[in-house]
Amino acid sequence: METFNYVKAPNIDKALAAAQQAKFIAGGTTLVDLMKLTVETPRTLVDINLLPLDKIDKLPDGGLRIGAMVRNSDLAWNADVQKSYAVLSEALLSGASPQLRNMATTGGNLMQRTRCVYFREPSAGTPGGYGCNKRTPGSGCAAMDGYNRMHAILGTSDHCIATHPSDMCVAMAALEAVIHVEGTKGKRTIAFADFHKLPGDTPHIENALEPGELITYVDLPKPVEGVTSTYLKLRDRASYEFALASAAVVARVEGGHIRYIRVAMGGVGTKPWRSHEAEAALMGKPANPATFKAAAEAALAQAKPHKENAFKVELARRCLVRSLKTATA
């Protein structure tokens, strides 16, 4: 691991001031892992564990404001989240391990990086190492013709096929969360759909943050009346494993027809995958297997499989169908 300067920030202003070629460290579950692999080599670490961003508060409009430092386990166990945003609690509890959930934070989970074995290889992107355009633009992508069983089938480009690994983000995509950030230039909000970037020809740029910006809160909108929400995660073992395919569904059925629908998928996209195609195929339609099947076809119509992950196309379809069944039961 490369060595670093360590700064513990007592407040937001000091944290922002210290963030020159620096990375914020909260739970450390992604950052320390990647620093051990020399994938991340920050010159300065700004520890933000003292910042007063660890509360979950109801907003005047009925929504929920989640501090960036709220631990994943606390967010999952929160009574308001379990009652009104069940998909978020289910998604969080399906991820990682209890220990990791106690350390990881809301902000950190948004910033989580891909598990691609080539990205995580210490020498990738360096001369003589595996090509990784995310590590070093232009160095190639070893995953395209290599081990790509866990890689993405949606949102890929010729430069990168790495999956976004977060479960929390899939739920937040379906809930249309809003991310608050603060930088030396001031505060702004970012719609969830705009936070994570497709790889395109710039896979090294993963999100919309400007250098030195700090995530402060994530707002959930007022809960939609009468919806059921659920998260289904399919993977090689029943726990402590990333998704092969997952589906977050928020749905309201009235008179047998779908009157509200949001769909997002995980394990298949280069970013948390909100599926407008599925939603268009579901809205107003009768809540039955034929509809669900059509929605799943629409969701995966643009899927581009690679040598080892073609199975994900059908798996993802069935995952969505099952999740829709549960949400509309």
Task: Assess 235 for contact with other proteins (CB under 8 A).
Answer: no
Taking CB under 8 A as the rule, does residue 23 contact other proteins? Answer: no
Judged by CB under 8 A, the stretch of 1-9, 106-114, 197-205, 306-314 that binds other proteins is 1-9
Contact residue for other proteins among 11, 21, 38, 97 (CB under 8 A): 97
Alpha carbon 14 to its chain's center: 28
- Residue 38 in the binding site for other proteins (CB under 8 A): no
Q: Is 117 among the residues that bind other proteins (CB under 8 A)?
A: no
The burial of 119, by beta-carbon neighbours within 10 Å (0-12 exposed, 13-18 middle, 19 or more buried), is given as buried
Q: Which long-range contacts (CB under 8 A, 24 or more apart) does 236-241 make?
A: 239/97, 240/96, 240/97
When asked if residue 4 is in the footprint of other proteins (CB under 8 A), the reply is: yes
Q: According to the binding rule CB under 8 A, does residue 12 interact with other proteins?
A: no
Tell me the window of 175-183, 199-207, 233-241, 258-266 that interacts with other proteins (CB under 8 A).
233-241
Q: Does 102 bind other proteins (CB under 8 A)?
A: yes
Query: At its nearest, how many Å lie between other proteins and the CB of residue 19?
Result: 17
47 binds other proteins (CB under 8 A): yes
Alpha helices in the chain (DSSP H): 12-18, 31-36, 72-77, 79-84, 86-94, 98-103, 106-110, 168-175, 192-195, 276-282, 289-300, 311-328
Our finding on whether 277 is near other proteins (CB under 8 A) is no
Sheet holding 257-266, edge to edge: 228-234, 245-254, 257-266, 273-274
Select from 28, 129, 146, 200 the one that contacts other proteins (CB under 8 A).
28
**Opening angle at CA 57, ends 79 and 212, nearest 5:** 120
Shortest distance, position 117 Cβ to other proteins, whole Å: 13
Measured in whole angstroms, how far is the alpha carbon of residue 300 from the centre of its chain?
19
106 touches other proteins (CB under 8 A): no
Q: Could you count the other beta carbons within 10 Å of the beta carbon of residue 60?
A: 6
Closest CA to 291 of 264, 241, 251: 251
Instruction: Render the burial of 20-31: b for 16+ CB within 10 Å, e for the rest.
Output: eebbbbbbbbbb
Question: With binding defined as CB under 8 A, does residue 41 bind other proteins?
Answer: no
Sole window of 183-191, 232-240, 285-293, 306-314 interacting with other proteins (rule: CB under 8 A) = 232-240
> Rule CB under 8 A: is residue 8 a binding residue for other proteins?
yes
Contact between 276 and 299 under an 8 Å Cβ cutoff? The reply is: no
Q: For the chain, give percent helix, strand, coil, nearest 5.
A: 30, 25, 50
Between 103 and 294, whose beta carbon lies closer to other proteins? Answer: 103
Among 21, 99, 123, 302, binds other proteins (CB under 8 A): 99
Q: Which of 11, 13, 36, 301 binds other proteins (CB under 8 A)?
A: 36
**Counting contacts by CB under 8 A, is residue 80 touching other proteins?**
no
Tell me if 78 contacts other proteins by CB under 8 A.
no
Q: Residue 73 CB: number of other CB atoms within 10 A?
A: 18
Q: Which residues bind other proteins (CB under 8 A)?
A: 1, 3-6, 8, 25, 27-29, 32-33, 35-36, 45, 47, 49, 73, 77, 96-100, 102-103, 238-240
